[in-house]
């Protein structure tokens, strides 16, 4: 089943719009297809980030000061 499509108005820098139009023409894609794919990729990256945060939520917190002290005691700084 095809997803329902919604219309949206976005405002972008004129040079970005120009580049987007050129990319659409060169790839035989519509601007909508390119924007939809870019948004899907951005949302997928967000989902990956959230999963990584959740996965590491139980790890102990280490303060910046503790990291610096450990580096200094190891002679690395």
The answer to whether residue 27 sits within a structural domain is: yes
Whether the predicted pLDDT of 50 surpasses 90: yes
DSSP secondary structure, 5-64, as one string: P--------HHHHHHHHHHHHHHT--HHHHHHHHHHHHHHHHHHHHHHHHHHTTSPP--H
Residue 34 lies in domain: 14-73
Asked whether residue 43 is domain-assigned, the answer is yes
- Residue 1 banded pLDDT, cuts 50, 70, 90: low
Residue 34 lies in a domain: yes
- pTM, two decimals, is 0.67
**19-38 residue pLDDT tens:** 999 999 999 999 999 999 99
Q: What's the number of domains the chain is made of?
A: 1
């Amino acid at each position: 089943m095809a997803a329902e499509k919604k219309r949206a108005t976005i405002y972008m820098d004129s040079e970005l719009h120009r580049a987007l139009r050129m990319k659409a023409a060169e790839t035989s894609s519509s601007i909508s297809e390119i924007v939809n794919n870019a948004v899907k990729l951005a949302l997928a990256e967000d989902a990956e980030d959230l999963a990584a945060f959740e996965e590491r939520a139980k790890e102990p917190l280490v303060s910046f000061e503790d990291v610096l002290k450990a580096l200094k005691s190891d002679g690395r700084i």
